[in-house]
Amino acid sequence: MILWDEKVLRYFKVGNLKSGPKSSILDVEGVCISHFTMNRGKGKMEVGKGPVRTGITMINPLSENIWEHSPACSVFVANGYGKTAGLAQVQELGVLETPVFLTNTMSVGDVWAGASQYMLEYNPQLAEEGQTVNPVVGECNDGFLNDIYGRHILPEHVIETGKKLSSENTEGGNIGAGTGMVSFGYKGGIGHSSREIEYNGYNFTLGCLVLANYGERKSLRINGVPVGHKLPSWEKEKNDGSIMIILGTDIPLDNRQLDRVCRRAPLGLALTGSVLGHGSGDFILAFSTSNIRDRKGNLIYSSKKVREKGDFLNLVFQAAVEAVAAAVYDALLKAETMEGRDNRRVEGLPAEKIIEILQGG
């Protein structure tokens, strides 16, 4: 993972709100993440053997058992060219009952199976009572670099991922589900960001994690500047691809209000140069760690219900827009050049060249 200094990062700063200390969804208290990375083999692809450039990323909103303490949650599908699992029940009931798992398109089923097993290990009453669970799995297509039809991700890898949850790991780019992803013709993957909101003596945080795998190079924009048209073209140029956006906050929003937050996320994508292409899978999920219900639907923890007060909600919407764009830039900045199947090579973002363009070069 590349670690840029502040002189570089200031050119990629988004908006006016302050970032949290980790610049990550992990700035929201209680949130933990984990990654499982598979990066092996080189040369000509042989289905089932590799090369392999893929993984799993797991986001757990709470330090408690999420089955017993389910956070309010909402989902918005900006463009539905995707193969996700579990989103319909979240939309219907307004709560999240498992961690969120991200992987590659063809491994959704295997991760879903592993997630079901993971939940059963911590909640044996599921089997005893004959209950079902709703694992939420998101995906992007890493097939340009990865032997995606080899389905190298197995259910047991999900269990392994769940044992490494951390509230400190802010690694990004070529890690976990982001290992084989490409954005704007450069190496993409996992990105982080956060925004802090101060209002009437209260302090809140909204964090974001993205799995970025979208965009054509000529459309890339950095803080409104169309830098992409001054960058060399790329062989796989098209305005499709996908992104998974996970928003977490300690603001006690209900699922309807979280839906409103989700609907602002595409504005952040637009800042980076996305038009939500025809073949793009753009999915946004948002949860609140301050609006929790038990298995009977009882509200067991909420610090304060958020009223429909425009000046405050406008700050929340602004935080979401800024956080999404910042997380995409973070993914691009942290990702490094990678070679994958059939000797395909994807370069890391040329940050110095982009800064030269931003300076008028």
Give me the helix-helix angle, 310-334 and 255-262, nearest 10°. Answer: 50
Q: Please answer whether residues 114 and 157 qualify as being in contact, where contact means their C-beta atoms are separated by less than 8 angstroms.
A: yes
- Quick one: average pLDDT of 331-353? 97
Per residue in 142-192, pLDDT (tens digit) is 999 999 999 999 999 999 999 999 999 999 999 999 999 999 999 999 999
Pairing mode, strands 299-302 and 100-104: unpaired
Per residue in 106-117, pLDDT (tens digit) is 999 999 999 999
Per residue in 289-324, pLDDT (tens digit) is 999 998 877 877 666 677 787 899 999 999 999 999
In a domain, 194, yes or no: yes
Is pLDDT of 351 > 70? yes
- Three-state secondary-structure class, residue 41: coil
Domain range holding 315?
A: 9-351
Give pLDDT, residue 77.
97
Residue 127: exposed, middle, or buried by beta-carbon count in 10 A (0-12, 13-18, 19+)? exposed
Nearest to 354 by CA among 217, 213, 161: 217
Is pLDDT of 4 > 90? no
Give pLDDT, residue 304.
66
Beta-carbon contacts of residue 43 (< 8 Å; ≥ 6 apart): 51, 342, 343
Per residue in 51-85, pLDDT (tens digit) is 999 999 999 999 889 999 999 999 999 999 999 99
Mean pLDDT of the chain: 94
Nearest to 253 by CA among 292, 284, 283, 285: 292
In a domain, 30, yes or no: yes
**7 confidence band (pLDDT: 50, 70, 90):** confident
Give pLDDT, residue 303.
60
Per residue in 182-208, pLDDT (tens digit) is 999 999 999 999 999 998 888 999 999
Give pLDDT, residue 221.
97
In a domain, 358, yes or no: no
Q: Which residues of 65-87 are buried (b: 16+ CB within 10 A; e: fewer)?
A: ebbbbbbbbbbbebbebbbbbbb
CATH classification at residue 264: 3.60.70.12
Q: How far is CA 49 from CA 71, 113, 150, 213, in A?
A: 40, 22, 7, 23
- What are the two backbone dihedrals, phi and then psi, of residue 18, each rounded to the nearest 5 degrees? -75, 140
pLDDT above 70 covers a percentage of the chain that reads 98
pTM of the model: 0.96
Per residue in 235-279, pLDDT (tens digit) is 776 667 899 999 999 999 999 999 999 999 999 999 999 999 899
Residue 341: exposed, middle, or buried by beta-carbon count in 10 A (0-12, 13-18, 19+)? buried
Give pLDDT, residue 73.
97
Other beta carbons within 10 angstroms of residue 131's beta carbon come to 11
In a domain, 360, yes or no: no
In a domain, 48, yes or no: yes
Whole-angstrom Cα Rg for the chain: 19
In a domain, 63, yes or no: yes
The structural domain count of the chain equals: 1
For CA atoms 41, 46, 47, 48, the dihedral sign is negative
Pairing mode, strands 280-293 and 241-249: parallel
Residue whose pair of structure tokens reads 């939500």 in the numeric block: 276
